Amino acid sequence: MKLRTVRAIFFKELVVMLRDKRTLLAMIGIPIVLYPALLVVTSQVALMHISSVEESTSRIAVKAGQDPTVARWVSALPRVELVTMEEPEIALLDGDVDAVVVVKQRAEDVLERGGSLLIVIQYDSTEPRSREAAHRLSKGFRTTQTRLLEDRLAKAGITLDFVTPLKLQEMNVAPAARIVGTLLAAMLPMIMVLMVGIGAFYPAVDLTAGEKERGTFETLLSTPVTKFEIVCGKFLTVFCISMLTGLLNLASMAMTFTFHLSDLLTKLQVGPEKAPVQFPLGTALLMILLLVPLALFVSALMMSVAVLARTFKEAQNYVTPFFLLITIPAGLAGMPGLELSAMLQFVPIVNIGLLFRDLLTDRATPEAVFSVLLSTSVYALLALVCATWLFQREDVILSEEKGVPLTLRRSRITPRSEPTVGMAITLYTVILLLIFYVGVYAQSKHILGGLLITEWLLIALPTVALLWYLRVDLLSALQLRSLRLDGALAVVAIAFSWLVLAFQLGIWHSNVLPMPEEMAKQYLQLMHLDDTNLVVLLAVIAVSPAICEEILFRGAILSGLEKRLPAWLLIPVVGLLFGVFHLSIYRVVLTGLTGMVLTYVVWRTRSLWNGILLHFLFNASAVLVASERIPETLTLAMRNLSATQAGLPWWLIGLAASVMSAGIGYLHLRFPGPDHGASE
């Protein structure tokens, strides 16, 4: 590789990008204009709203029968207007009054005999004026309560201190800088990831799919430069613009909040003191350092996704969902109670967001900074390797494969042997949405019937129907080749050995991320349907998922992604999609690993039946274990292991790993695997 060539390509692409108005708007216009305008408008609107509510007069209706005492107390309160309503509760919901005071006893009678008068304050929590009215009433009644108590004690010759042995006083000692850091930590990680993504979005799309659409990629490839030099120059351009966007956003936010936020916090009485908000230099430098691998990671991934498209518009359709996807883990940093644990330090994007939060609140440790920096750098390197590999494939760079034509007539659609990447991703997304909106509802009404509807009507039927409509060869796309006996025996060995390993992994996983007790009870209730025949239970929970989910994942999705991804990336991607598909953060890891095992078996043997067999054996074993339909001795042993979290004996884990390795080794030796060059 010639560095001078890479530098020439980099400067050329960078100059072209910086001449584009859309790039300049995303990189400079948004950070310089957005944050000051956002803070000024937000602060002024907030102060106007607070002032308006505080200066308004609360309209209060008292429902106390013929007793004027409580009404007299209410009318004496400042900024309160006493009104008379025949049906005050309805008036409260209609907004005609701000609060209603309900008293069901005569106040004077209760107070004369030394009793306790019950006063109910009704208000609408969705209305600021109503909340303010309830606050004024509560404060006023507490003052009246103290006065009445003093009168009673004075008559009995007792002081107020005698019946108040404890006096509590809360004092907020957090400095203004920490308060501001906490506020910024709720939104800064999300904004930084968004801005880095926005900076990389347009250059990544234009320098890949845009080049294809303009027909200039062929011209560039005809020059005396290597493909590696081309990808390095383009990648440096995307990274540079993404990094500059992130830096400008960080600088703009720091200056904006430093000069303007302290006054707002003082007026809102958030901080204990009026002090200038400071953005520590050390924190800023660490955040800049962390932005480097983050920008590398996001830029490489966006280029990898965009290069799969043939046109600029198609690339936008590919990159936009990915762009939205990376904002989800960034938003986790704003969740209360979520800490940067040892495990989360190695979860991409989540670790950056949580570390940003810890840096802003002065809680970050050097070990956490090192772990996050190292793991993010490794992910960035892997993403760059993937992007480089894709750029060096001519069938990707010069692909002229046509997607689905803009016609509803099936006869005009070109037949194909497997679905495209776009078809596979679209199918996955549509079915995932169907399960989220329809399947979850159906299962909540009747668990077994809902599961059958989900598997057959929401997964299998749309998959087969879409492939048929798009004239995709079902036998080829679903890999419905005959089942070989030796392969089936190897799959059986893999199934039971993986069941042992998955059981142990589940114990370790529960130590790190335990499933909520309520969710665990629901899962056990599903397996303990005493009035359900075991055959029916296996048919619903083992047979149906084995057939329907394998048709989707190891059929349509695997064949759709296979030509575009190498095996080392294809198997984890399909497995991860399988894990996410089950819509549970507590199952995504184990289910994803199981999906990888299933994907390898089908990818190697070229037969979906092996995946169906493995899926059935694994689910059926889980049903038998969870429903205690296995020998009592084995049930007690597994229950004790789970309860004590001791795990399986190492000799059993080693035996299972050896059997599984032998089964995988046999498949590797006896089955030729895919004949596509992309997957070898």
Q: Side by side, which strands form the sheet with 99-102?
A: 80-83, 58-63, 99-102, 120-123
Compute the distance between CA of residue 186 and CA of residue 169 in angstroms, rounded to an integer.
Answer: 28
Give the per-residue pLDDT at 534: 79
Q: Say if residues 163 and 106 touch (Cβ distance below 8 Å).
A: no
Statement: residue 626 has pLDDT above 80? no
In a 10 Å sphere around its CB, with 0-12 CB exposed, 13-18 middle and 19+ buried, how is residue 607 labelled? Answer: buried
Q: Please answer whether residues 22 and 202 qualify as being in contact, where contact means their C-beta atoms are separated by less than 8 angstroms.
A: yes
Q: Is the predicted pLDDT of residue 620 greater than 80, yes or no?
A: yes
Pick from 307-311, 473-477, 601-605: least confident: 307-311
The residue among 553 and 263 whose pLDDT is bigger is: 553
Of 169 and 70, more confident: 70
Q: CB–CB of 471/416 below 8 Å?
A: yes
- Structural contact between residues 418 and 476, judged by C-beta atoms closer than 8 angstroms: yes
For position 135, what pLDDT does the model report?
92
When pLDDT is averaged across residues 520-536 and rounded to a whole number, the result is: 65
Q: Is pLDDT above 70 for 35?
A: no
What are the strands, taking DSSP E only, across 379-511? Answer: none
Q: Over 50: is that where the pLDDT of 627 sits? A: yes
Q: Any idea how long the chain is?
A: 680
Judge residue 375's burial from the number of C-beta atoms within 10 Å of its C-beta, 0-12 exposed, 13-18 middle, 19 or more buried. middle
364 pLDDT higher than 90 = no
Report residue 99 as tokens. 């609060």
Positive or negative: CA dihedral 631, 634, 636, 642: negative
Residue 630 has pLDDT above 70, yes or no: no
Rounded CA separation 136/142 (Å): 10
Mean pLDDT of 545-562: 94
3-state secondary structure of 78: coil
Rounded Cα distance, 379 and 374, in Å: 9
336, amino acid identity: P
**Statement: residue 632 has pLDDT above 70:** no
pLDDT digits (tens, 9 = 90+) for 281-296: 788 788 888 889 999 9
Name the strand (E) or helix (H) holding 120.
strand 120-123
Q: How far is 128 from 145, CA to CA, in rounded Å? A: 26
Query: What is the SS3 assignment for 460?
Result: helix
In angstroms, rounded to a whole number, what is the distance separating the alpha carbons of residues 563 and 49?
58
CB 453 within 8 A of CB 531: no
Q: Decide if 334 contacts 358 (C-beta within 8 A).
A: no
* Average per-residue pLDDT for the chain: 81
Q: How confident is the model at residue 452 (pLDDT cuts 50, 70, 90)?
A: very high
- Which range (137-141, 315-319, 349-353) has the least confidence? 315-319
Mean pLDDT confidence for 174-178: 65
Mean pLDDT of 543-561: 95
Residue 175 has pLDDT above 70, yes or no: no
Most confident of 243-252, 521-530, 584-593: 584-593
In percent, the amount of the chain with pLDDT more than 70 equals 80
Distance of alpha carbon 577 from alpha carbon 591, whole angstroms: 10
Structure confidence at residue 520 as a pLDDT band (50, 70, 90): low
Q: What is the pLDDT of residue 673?
A: 74
**Cβ partners under 8 Å of residue 399, min gap 6:** 212, 310
Ordered by start, the domain boundaries in the chain are 3-47+175-397, 56-156, 410-679
What is residue 678's predicted lDDT score, i.e. its pLDDT? 39
Q: How many CB atoms lie within 10 A of CB 18?
A: 16
pLDDT tens digits, residue range 472-518?
999 999 988 888 999 999 999 999 999 999 988 888 888 777 776 66
The CATH code of the domain at 56-156 is 3.40.190.10
The pTM score is 0.66
pLDDT of residue 271: 47
Instruction: Inform me whether the pLDDT recorded for 372 exceeds 80.
Output: yes
Tell me how far apart the alpha carbons of residues 239 and 463 are, in angstroms, rounded to a whole number.
38
